[in-house]
Structure 1
Amino acid sequence: MKNNTPRITIAVISDLNTDQRIQKIATSLQNNLGQVTVICRKLRHDNPTYEYNVRRIRLLFNKGFKFYAAFNIRLFLKLLIQPSDIIVSNDADTLLPCYYVSKLKRCKLVFDSHEIMSEVPEVIHRPAVQKFWRWIEQKYIPKIHYKYTVCKSLQNYYKSGFEVIRNVPYRFEISENKQKREEKLILYQGSVNMGRGIEDIVAALPFISNALFVIVGDGYLMKELHLMVQNSNVAEKVIFKGKMDPKKLSIYTQLADLGISIEENLGLNYYYALPNKLMDYIQAGVPVLVSDFPEMRNIVKKYKVGETLKSREPEELAQQINRMLNDEEQIQKWKENLKTAAIELCWENEEKILLKLYREVLH
């Protein structure tokens, strides 16, 4: 590697192993612009092989104030000794150390906003915590010249010069030889946390005929969800797959008959969301049922690849799902529309916007 190759350091607090957005961005920058290093936290199930460098922070705490404080202190120290021409902060929970180290080292700073930290469900009912994140958003984000986010609604929310780079998957060929099954598959993939609508599907399962509900992912709601499945007597209709490697997941997603993304309105973070799982379903050729929120509604209506949620009441939700799983004429229309949508909603297109932005940073 030449000495004049730009050195790009990406700071992220999420699980790198399942954070497909960070993986795609790091790979695109590594392959096209410079030497990339991702600084992230150390986890038990870490994947040791990436195309770019990875520096891991080992922590004693996994959640709460101590976790955030310890991570940010360690991140600050790591960034100080890491050679960097560009530092990339992912979300407000990495912003303070990235901002101050970029000033100390006189290097460029880029901000990548996946979500509104002051509006995540875990903090909207904790005024002091919410006030802290809002203070960071209002004090520091406007000072950053180069920044991008995942959708138009978040761009409008911040109102301070954000580019939009959507979190979409790479293009891949869909297998035309899907194994015929007696039961249809309803799929949820992603974090198993508050407000994702997973409990609504479980509550509707007694009224859904000839279908299994597959949950791919993990989160703090898992124990409660297992208990709900048992108490609702639907254990034979629910399959928990746990976390899955993104490459394996993209193949598994194709098996589904319906993809679920029915988040609840627990603050602007969910209301403005354009979940990557929605894009994964589309790329895999799977019709979708989504919340009637701006970004998801726009995608479903523009490309005609599914429906928006009509009701969370169990029997009414089951009626909508039963119809979506069994209306063969409509399913075929969705399938054709999904092919068109997948060509447009792919990382190969978003990567061009990403690289253009970073080339501007470097000049």
Structure 2
Amino acid sequence: MDKDGRPVVAMLVDNAIDGDSRVQKAAKSLAGPDWDVHLLGIAPGKVGDEYTLGSAKVRRIPLGKKFPDNSLRRRLKRLRFPLAYKDGSRAAQKEALIRAKIVDAMAGPGRELPSDLAGEGFWNALAEAAPLRHRLRSAWIGHRVEKTREARRWARRREDGRLERLEADLWSKVPGIKVWRRLDKTPLRFESAFLEHIVSLNPDIIHAHDFRMVGIAVRARDLLRRAGRDPKVLYDCHEFVPGLERYGYKWEVSQADYESRYIDRADMIVTVGEPIAECLKETHGLDYRPEIILNAPMSYDRSDPMEVPEGEAPDVRTEFAIPPEEGIVVYAGAAAQRRGLQDVVEALPELDSVHAVFLVPDPSKRFIGSLKTLAAELGVADRAHFRPYVSYDRIIQYIRTADIGVYPLWRGPVNHDLALGTKLLEYVQAELPVVVSDAKAMADFTAKHGIGEVFTAGKPKELATALRTVLGDRERYTAPYRDRGFIDRFTWEEQYPAYDKAYRALLG
């Protein structure tokens, strides 16, 4: 308890908090007279910071340097490339040293230099004119430098390399070993950074957002129990870990092992949707189905719009000066190839007088640059617009002047079929008809409620047809929104009281 008698909640998340709407909404909504909420996240730089989010106290913690990579591939690098220097900086130092000695030898009196020392062959020309001992040493160092480059290329992590698969399988067969510690050092970095901060809060509840934090939360609780305290752990599972986009077999084995070791030691589990709840229950043999708390947006009152921050436009149509007679298709979310954003750009030539606006974390990223290039090649650069996220509490007000919300997610990763994306519920709150890919959870939701059309993922022409269909009959697809009860079901105000209920149940 804090000095006012409120239970202390330590919320943990494995990101910098900015852009994670679920975490921000949870902390801000729960902090107040009943709960003393402290949100711990990662500092974006080397220095931590603190601020408030409503009544919640936010602390962002530096992670420190990455731990050395002692993977099997890295260990074998020295055997495979015995002549390579230890690292690139050592190789560069040796190369610079021999060049300096050649300059010493050739710049002295009585040395005859080649007449042309300019151009890319400068160092080679200088070395060829140097004394024999320098030429031999230069050749030897040059050979070792090249082997260092080869070793670096060979040692780069491979998603599904034979060595990575062998390493994962070998450690998985060793009894009593924490496989995740051998295959991925990231949880160790988080624990090293976070643990003392959690313990110092002396929390009554440790709320672990997403799978990277569940082990840290459980281990912090166990430490506090040894000290005579009895905090409870709430695991807030945002994704189904075995269904995540794969970063290689070794990564997949590591993450699955990490979550499975701690999930059943949490005192309570909540998650973001029905399909994931069922998968968690079945995969981990839980004796109950986790409570569902949708990552729904804050409700929006059209009669009382929020104040617009200085320098920002009130809505998407105003920001890009798009006339009322021209259509706007909006996408708000992460930017990656599997999100299908390129399909939206490729659909634009089929849609006269329709603009696509993408709200993404960072429009300066390379992938966004490739979309801009694609738009220019297709002759639609003037109708493809990109901007950073707006804040989670203003997103509805910003996108409401669009005509359609689009979610073109590709099929493949299991989670793409399980997830009812936050952006889809934001479109609902903004009363936008939607066009979504045939990723199962989204497609089922859209078809069930009659709020839009479904197209085959990765098919830009089908997407264009679906967009034309909805633009041609928006009234039909927005009809369900006239029932405010329907919209209110999918608001944060309807969802977050389940957290309060869970906290109270945990504390009895």
* Higher Rg of the two aligned structures: 2
CA shift for structure 1 position 108: 0.9
What is the match of residue 501 of structure 2? Answer: 356
Query: What root-mean-square deviation, in Å, do the aligned CA atoms of Structure 1 and Structure 2 show?
Result: 2.7
- How far does the alpha carbon of each residue in 1:329-363 deviate from its partner, in whole angstroms, 9 at most, with x for none? 424535536x4421211122212322211110111
Structure 1 unpaired stretches of 5+: none
Distance 1:303 1:31 in 2: 36
Summarize the alignment of residues 10-29 of structure 1 with structure 2, pairs less than 5 Å apart.
10-29=11-30
Q: Is the 8 A contact 1:121 1:194 kept in 2?
A: no
**Change over 3 Å in CA distance of 1:101–1:311 after alignment to 2:** closer
Q: Is the 8 A contact 1:291 1:308 kept in 2?
A: yes
Summarize the alignment of residues 214-229 of structure 1 with structure 2, pairs less than 5 Å apart.
214-218=357-361, 221-229=367-375
Determine helix, strand or coil for the equivalent of 2:409: coil
What is the match of residue 8 of structure 1? Answer: 9
- How far does the alpha carbon of each residue in 1:39-73 deviate from its partner, in whole angstroms, 9 at most, with x for none? 001237x99441210111124579x9676653342
Distance 1:117 1:325 in 2: 37
2:213 maps to 1:94: yes
Out of 280-289 and 257-266, give the one that drifted further. Answer: 257-266
TM-score (norm 1): 0.90
- How far does the alpha carbon of each residue in 1:186-239 deviate from its partner, in whole angstroms, 9 at most, with x for none? 011011124112111111111122111101012563343333333333211111
What is the match of residue 158 of structure 1? Answer: 280
What is the match of residue 270 of structure 2? Answer: 148
- How far does the alpha carbon of each residue in 1:82-137 deviate from its partner, in whole angstroms, 9 at most, with x for none? 221111111111222211111111221110011123322242xx000000111122
Q: Is the 8 A contact 2:232 2:267 kept in 1?
A: no
From 427, 433, 436, the equivalent of 1:287 is 433
Summarize the alignment of residues 1-363 of structure 1 with structure 2, pairs less than 5 Å apart.
2-31=3-32, 33-43=34-44, 48-51=51-54, 52-59=56-63, 69-106=188-225, 107-123=231-247, 126-159=248-281, 160=286, 161=288, 162-174=290-302, 181-218=324-361, 221-310=367-456, 312-333=458-479, 335-336=481-482, 339-363=484-508
Out of 327-336 and 266-275, give the one that drifted further. Answer: 327-336
Counterpart of 1:314, as a letter, is P
Distance 2:220 2:233 in 1: 9
Distance 2:460 2:377 in 1: 15
CA shift for structure 1 position 318: 0.8
Determine helix, strand or coil for the equivalent of 1:247: coil
**Change over 3 Å in CA distance of 1:141–1:68 after alignment to 2:** closer
**Change over 3 Å in CA distance of 1:108–1:327 after alignment to 2:** same
Determine helix, strand or coil for the equivalent of 2:264: helix
**Change over 3 Å in CA distance of 1:222–1:61 after alignment to 2:** farther
Higher relative CO (CA 8 A, sep ≥ 6), structure 1 or 2?
1
Q: Is the 8 A contact 1:168 1:345 kept in 2?
A: yes
**Change over 3 Å in CA distance of 1:188–1:66 after alignment to 2:** farther
Determine helix, strand or coil for the equivalent of 1:239: strand
- How far does the alpha carbon of each residue in 1:298-317 deviate from its partner, in whole angstroms, 9 at most, with x for none? 32233221122246322222
Identity of aligned residues (%): 25
Counterpart of 2:344, as a letter, is I
Counterpart of 2:53, as a letter, is Y
Counterpart of 1:120, as a letter, is L
Determine helix, strand or coil for the equivalent of 2:393: helix
Out of 27-36 and 149-158, give the one that drifted further. Answer: 27-36
Determine helix, strand or coil for the equivalent of 2:374: helix
Structure 2 unpaired stretches of 5+: 67-156, 158-183, 226-230, 306-314, 318-322
Distance 1:116 1:86 in 2: 23
